Amino acid sequence: MPTRTTSSPAKKISAAEAAALVKSGYWLDYGGCLSQPDVFDEALAARVSELTDVGFRSSLAAKPRAVLEADPEGIHFHYYTWHFSAYERAKADAGICFHIPPNLGEISDYYRRFIAPIDIVVLKVRPADANGFFSFGPMNGWQRTLVERAKTMIVETSTAIPYVYGVDNGVHISEVDYVIEGNNEPLPELASPPITDVDRAVARRIAAEVDDGACLQIGIGGMPNAVCSLLMEAGVKDLGVHTEMLTDGLVGLYKAGIVTGARKQLDPGKVVFTFGQGTRAMYEAVDRNPDMLCCNVEYTNLPHIIMQNDKVVSINNTTQMDLQGQAASESDGHRHISGTGGQLQFTRGAYASKGGKSFICLSSVFEKKGARKSRIVLNLTPGNIVTTPRTDIMYVVTEYGIVNLKGKSVPERARAMISLAHPDFREGLERQAFEQRLIPRAVYPVQGQQRKTNTGA
């Protein structure tokens, strides 16, 4: 596996000594999720007044970052992320954290083709094993590419990082310049949001479409986790997992014996993922578990790989859809809230899979400033980012139904989307669709008159 070699053996240094290597104008990379360093981050934050224009790339910060807390106006440190966590979203609202839009499965290629070599890469890893390998734990992602592109490679060790089997899921000591001993504090946990009645209603419709031997990709959130709960009751068997994010819901299916991977074409018997984030129970489940396979994000997320498994079922959330089927899943106007992640790539991979199905799910309404609003609209909110184009959408699910948009005309799509909206909004949507010539006829009340049928080209 080693592809990068150092001129001298890795040297053990303190976090302060490692932070002293950083110069103004440097670019650093913290990897993502649970791989982000702690003691190095704190030591570098202590140097905030000495440095200018230091850039950071990272993703899904699982806890506060000391460099951001030390520089609340973003004067000295500039922080960029591939996918927002709740913490990064708050810092973006404060104007000191910014998004880099990716398809997650392409990030390794961005580093190889479009991003200059990185001055310093710092990753939290498990202490080296007997063969000199530091495990990345449950975060493979694009880590290997960071190692290859690093001018200076630093690891911060932590015994809290589980040892996770995978393909190239670690860095060898021969590739490392410096080793910092970390604080060994427990990993931050990400609790699953509570499951609502709407989540259950949506999940019930999706679960009915999952056959024995299906291969699952499930995103984060209450609805996908509700699907996992209902699959435990549905009697399906021999499910497989080839996913971007490993969640507690998927681990629950594995523990229940419902996920066996026995019918997978790729990696039979293995739960394949590129990163895992959840509760302590999940971290314990992946530790030295030979059934778990943590792979790089190109392997998990690129559609031509995903499609090689049969009956791929991709389940992801969105926040708003228009009547033609565009899904806006990552922003509220110009306010960015998450990221594209793997949604588009898994939607495409599932569709291309033999017998595959992709599901985009959402609740029909939401509350904002005390007002109830429809998530299904004529026009997306101005500034909203289209995560999945209308041409890629397959199944759409709300608590009011499920429709398949593949092969449907614009009028058929509009009527199908209206059928998924909350009943209180359907008439208004139908009127708007008629006025904008998305549908050739509409039935709606004319003020002061009985209901009237209108026709038009």
The answer to whether 63 and 39 have CB atoms below 8 angstroms apart is no
Counting other chains too, the contacts that 417-421 makes at CB distance below 8 Å and 24 or more residues apart are 417/321, 417/322, 417/323, 417/324, 417/325, 417/376, 418/323, 418/376, 420/364, 420/376, 420/396, 421/364, 421/374, 421/376
Within 10 A of 13 (CB to CB), how many other CB atoms are there?
17
* Annotated catalytic residue 17: no
Which helix (DSSP H) or strand (DSSP E) does residue 86 occupy?
helix 86-93
Query: What six digits make up the tokens of 163?
Result: 């040892």
In 404-449, which ranges are continuous DSSP H helix?
A: 410-420, 423-435
Query: What six digits make up the tokens of 229?
Result: 């709960």
Which of these, 388, 344, 339, lies nearest to 80 by C-alpha position? 339
Q: How many Å is the maximal CA-CA distance in the chain?
A: 87
| CB-count burial class (<10 Å; 0-12, 13-18, 19+) for 26 | middle
Q: What beta strand segments (E) does 59-174 contain?
A: 77-81, 97-99, 118-125, 133-135, 150-157, 170-172
Query: What six digits make up the tokens of 22?
Result: 């950083």
Strand order in the sheet with 376-377: 327-328, 320-322, 376-377
Q: Which residue in the list 88, 156, 175, 244 is annotated as catalytic?
A: 244
Which helix (DSSP H) or strand (DSSP E) does residue 331 occupy?
strand 331-332
Length of the chain: 457
Q: What whole-number distance in Å separates Cα of residue 440 and Cα of residue 434?
A: 6
Q: What are 313's strand-pairing partners?
A: 216, 357
Residues with a catalytic annotation lie at 244
